[in-house]
Amino acid sequence: MSLRRQKRAGESVRAASVHSVVKTALSRVLRRPWKAALCLGGVAFVVRAGFVLNLQERWYFYDTVHYDAAARSLLSGEGFRYERPFFGTTAYNLEPLYPLFLAANYATFGRRFLAVRVVQGLLGALTCVVVFSLARRLFDVKVAALAGAICALYPHLVFISGLLYPEQLFTLLLAAGMWCLVRYMATGRTLLMVGVGVCMGLAALVKGIALAFVPVLVVWLLFRRRTGKGQRLAHAALFVGTVVVVLLPWSLRNYRVFGQLAPVRAHATMVFDQRYVQQDEPLVAQWMHGKVDTWSFLVRYVEEFVRFWTPTLGRLQSRNEFTTRWANMVSIAAAGPVLLFALLGVWFARKRLNELMPLLLLVMTFACTYAFFLTHVRYRIPVEPYLILLAAFGWCQAGIALGLCRADSAGGPEEDKERG
């Protein structure tokens, strides 16, 4: 018995020693946020690199065909053109920035999907660093480290690095815009508002849904009372003007090619044309043309809104290893706790919602806008970093409330330190 006790005591001492070393190392890293951000970025990239290296040199979901064709058309000198089913080769009428991104990769590395995915892995790692910085400015370094670590390992965010779709580029541009906006809230610098406009304009050129956030943000800027009325008007006008300048070249191109002054998708109004409205077309279009009555429209709108938040995969037409039951279980296991703790985070942060309002408005804008058309888990991924940020705060506050960890009196938001 004595030997067993000595052995157990030795194991306990070694475990305590390892725990102490790890705790000391973590505390040293967290005392230097740039080191923590660098470590998180490195881990995030390694995870994504491991994922994309195991993918085949092919596309997994059909819309990649459109972006790839437009990128190859650009490189061949034919401009923005692509193949459309039943239409043949036509002028490209979708958002332009992702084909440009693909074309730049093809010009540098050749038409190799692996190279594109590795670059997207770098963008994903950078997104984790931006989320870390965002959380550190809104909360503290511990919440930031947890949020960054979740982003680094979160299956949905890892997945989009290998998806030859605009989601990864779109997610990074949104995060950059939110970072500029949070910094603007802390400092009021005009240049940061220009940065918000540039990021949102570029994001809209990746996915048009970003435009839905522009009027929402304008209203928030106008009614934000921490600055004078004149400054609010000036900065709101500056934001809108910057977005317009970013979108203007593509809008003029669409007018020249299609006769439509469309800022993003030249065929966006097609979904409201009765000739194209089918049973599976956007909900709002069906309602406008009498395909569904008002009550049915409202019921289905609520259903689509709820579906936006569900952690399960669904409405996937392609069949591959990412649409299996196993993939669905991974999605539920990852997204379910994040959604739950994000709600807790909102509850614990209820006294400081003004600071978090832009993030909450962005998430709700996506949910409410997509519900008019069609919702899908892929459409939620670009705003999941902000749900993860709230979930990290909710987890830390729940630990404090349950007595599992202590509050760090020294770890306030970075904004407060700057004001002080």
SS3 55: coil
DSSP string, 97-141: HHHHHHHHHHHHH-S-HHHHHHHHHHHHHHHHHHHHHHHHHHS-H
pLDDT the model gives residue 394? 95
Q: 103-115: per-residue pLDDT in tens?
A: 999 999 999 999 9
CA distance 130 to 312: 27
Q: 333-389: per-residue pLDDT in tens?
A: 999 999 999 999 999 999 888 889 999 999 999 999 999 888 888 899 999 999 999
Better pLDDT: 389 or 405? 389
Q: Tell the residue number behind the tokens 């194209």, with chain if given.
A: 276
Asked whether the predicted pLDDT for residue 147 surpasses 90, the reply is: yes
pLDDT band at 68 (very low <50, low <70, confident <90, very high): very high
Q: Are 397 and 408 in contact (CB under 8 A)?
A: no
DSSP string, 61-83: STTHHHHHHHHHHHHTTS-SEEE
CA distance 123 to 309: 25
Q: 316-342: per-residue pLDDT in tens?
A: 666 777 778 888 899 999 999 999 999
Assigned token pair, 100: 């440009």
Q: Which residues contact 365 (CB under 8 A, 6 or more apart)?
A: 212, 213, 216
pLDDT the model gives residue 107? 96
- CA atoms lying within 13 Å on the CB side of residue 210: 33
Task: Name the residue among 363, 369, 367, 370 with its Cα closest to residue 384.
Answer: 363
Q: Tell the residue number behind the tokens 């404090």, with chain if given.
A: 400
Give CA torsion, residues 110, 111, 114, 118, to 10 deg: 60
Report in angstroms the alpha-carbon separations of 70 from 65, 300, 336. 9, 35, 37
pLDDT the model gives residue 91? 81
Asked whether the predicted pLDDT for residue 28 surpasses 60, the reply is: no
Q: Are 67 and 166 in contact (CB under 8 A)?
A: yes
Give CA torsion, residues 174, 366, 66, 45, to 10 deg: 40
**Residue 368, burial from CB neighbour count under 10 angstroms (0-12, 13-18, 19+):** middle
Q: Are 226 and 115 in contact (CB under 8 A)?
A: no
Asked whether the predicted pLDDT for residue 27 surpasses 80, the reply is: no
Task: Name the residue among 207, 196, 182 with its Cα closest to residue 241.
Answer: 196
